[in-house]
Structure 1
Amino acid sequence: MCSIKKRYYHGYKITCVTDGKYINLLYISTAKKHDLTILKEKEEDFTERLKGETVIGDKGYVSKEFSEKMKKKDVIFVAMKRKNMIKSDEERGYHGFLSKLRKKIETLFSVVDNLGLRFIRAVSRRGLAVKIILSLLAFNFYRLRSDGN
């Protein structure tokens, strides 16, 4: 709460799935939820939309149990390991390969961050969701238009 103006501030988190060009899937949740918890809650939708795909998550999604569960549902889910989890040279090479793939994604998220989604003023949750969705939709249209040139 901002004590001077007696206003409350709420944190929200955007969880996105992207192919490196477009944002294909979007979940909005409270910021205090762990990344993996969000996917577990949306598991049915997540697996239905990404069946047959390989998904590379960042370090917040490390879970062997979750990866195995996804594999049974025909989604290959790979999470970047934290530095202290990499033991062999083989793992280091594989991690480097995944890092190169994720660089494209991190660049995309950097561009999305420049849309001003980090601090949004909204009166209601619905207003917040509308602003986020419209911004990301505009981003996808921009990317689509850029591909056409």
Structure 2
Amino acid sequence: MTTLPGSRVEPVEPVPTPGPRRVVALGTDLARAAWGTASLLRPQTVASVCGAPATRRARAVARVLGARHLVQLGVATALPVRACRTAGAVVDGAHAASCLGLAAASRSWRRAALTDAAVATVFAALGVARRRAIRPEGPPDLLNP
């Protein structure tokens, strides 16, 4: 780096911006963290937004699912490899499938189950897309995914 004539301050190198895949990855993680935290700390609000019956069981289910999202995010952050992202997408896909089964079996839980199936499907699709951004041997380069 060169100093401009007559200047005491060296010019600053521009900071490279992260690629679009990295931005999507960060957005996905933030969305999962927000959904999990809201489900854990405000289960009645999440349950009512999803259309679940206003019961103690609905609040408990929301808390358990919120904790699952936060644990899944923690594991995926600690182990940023393709296998971990693949497992996360499979878990989200299995959860979506179980929600569809619940929607078919229970009229009172149908709306909540379909809403949660949609959320799980989005997370599964984003997990698959994010998996592609990770090199097989480890995490993606933060600036060039």
By relative contact order (CA 8 Å, sep 6+), the higher-ranking structure is: 2
Q: Greater share of strand residues, 1 or 2? A: 1
Q: Greater share of helix residues, 1 or 2? A: 2
TM-score when scaled to structure 1? 0.28
Higher Rg? 2
TM-score when scaled to structure 2? 0.29
